Structure 1
């Protein structure tokens, strides 16, 4: 990789952290008014706070490690290798946290149908198994170098992405099936139905694009793949 490519890569990763911090600062007043005011027993409150600040913490840690590696600091290779493998676990946790909200919306839309609940549980378990399988099959070998942290995305991201895409398609499919039933029943114009379809479809396409790009960039080992995964 050329020096220019390294500069682009580093700039992109720093930009992703800057954008995240900017978004948090921009919406912090809404967070205080809408999220903090919720009772402590509200799971959505803790889900939001976890997703937002866990992602921020990981970004800060990653950028710190990137800086240390780029500065050729003496670091334990085994620890770096373990952290490298953990990247897909972090991504899976964050994706699952987002999917949990979408699943809860669909679950409510189906009047808390027990079969829908079991479908979602199976989907989450399948994603976990896929991630574990990806890690086991793609463990870094003796050829691993500290520079891999900067230059390559873990191949296990491909497995994670495929599992996530399957879950997202299922969530959208169930939403559209309920919308079809609503059209036939004459209540498709109900505000809650319109909101669910609009937000569900928008979330699906955003997550699908991000996940698909992650899979493609990782599987082809594009030199800028780490930017997308950051």
Structure 2
């Protein structure tokens, strides 16, 4: 009886998780169509689709198996192992997609610093290799009941969550360091930077807490309740990964719309003699066919609300950051990404 109660609790938790994620997808669908689907394919868009929809599709696939607390099917030991392997692979794909989104944000925040990108890429490959190795080792050692609910995991499984948390903590610390530098330079309190750090903070907190709870459950619980938060981790990864791209794009669209309707006619002076380089989602209005006006006397300068001087791409075009990708202003004043 206690085992059945535990399986029912896991099933109810899973239904609640997928219901909440479905609701979140529905309420953001119109923005997603405008800001994601109507744009051309980029790495950020590809990562968005993986992070957003793979957790949802996976949870939908789980529902028929254990929605009533029992699959109704008696799995063999080998069948359970294969099913756990599939879950491990899907989880790794999702975690990797979210990590790539976080890396792209830090890369853009540091003005596309190639040296930093090289270091982060090396750390990322080390993380993925470690996570893959851990999953390959622990999956055959997972213990489950006749309904294929995980009831216990080997001690090494804790390392999976620790490795993920360490890597995401490194990215979060880099974000905070850049924010502290921006505050000292005088542009850290602008809306663009403040929103960027705010998104990174709540996303990191959600991921950290959810992974930590899963680590503790799999470490200390010896019943089907060990996996009660697994689907919630999938939902959090979907929510955080998608919002880290969607939120800045939505804000950028609103700010650009306001800027286009109410262009500034008086040039603004910078806060300091040196123009700070910082990611920006502002693009000065310009007419089709004219050269880019970003950074021109009539455009936004570092002292304007939320504004910042655009970066310069290698081809000389003005680069702006929006979401989790670096964009460049094309010659006809459109935004290529």
Query: When the two structures are superposed, what TM-score results if normalisation uses the length of structure 1?
Result: 0.86
Distance 1:117 1:86 in 2: 31
* Structure 1 residue 69 displacement after superposition: 8.9
- Partner of 2:106 in structure 1? 106
CA contact (8 A) 2:15 2:63 kept: yes
CA contact (8 A) 1:14 1:63 kept: yes
Correspondence list, 1:161-176, <5 A: 161-176=161-176
- Partner of 2:268 in structure 1? none
- Corresponding residue SS for 1:70: coil
Distance 1:183 1:68 in 2: 53
- Partner of 2:3 in structure 1? 2
1:158 aligned onto 2:158:
yes
CA contact (8 A) 2:143 2:153 kept: no
Distance 2:140 2:69 in 1: 17
- Partner of 2:270 in structure 1? none
* Structure 1 residue 17 displacement after superposition: 1.7
**Coordinate RMSD, CA, aligned:** 2.5
Q: 1:26 to 1:195 in 2, by over 3 A?
A: closer
- Corresponding residue SS for 2:149: helix
What's the CA shift string for 1:9-62, capped at 9, x where partnerless?
21111221222222222222222222111113x222222222222112211222
What's the CA shift string for 1:205-228, capped at 9, x where partnerless?
111111111111111135423121
Of Structure 1 and Structure 2, which has the larger fraction of its residues in helix?
A: 1
- Partner of 2:190 in structure 1? 190
Which is bigger in relative contact order (C-alpha 8 A, separation at least 6)?
Answer: 1
The answer for unaligned runs of 5 or more in structure 1 is none
Q: Which has the larger radius of gyration?
A: 2
- Corresponding residue SS for 1:189: coil
Query: When the two structures are superposed, what TM-score results if normalisation uses the length of structure 2?
Result: 0.61
Correspondence list, 1:69-218, <5 A: 70-140=70-140, 145-147=145-147, 149-152=148-151, 154-155=153-154, 157-218=157-218
Of Structure 1 and Structure 2, which has the larger fraction of its residues in strand?
A: 2
The aligned length equals: 228
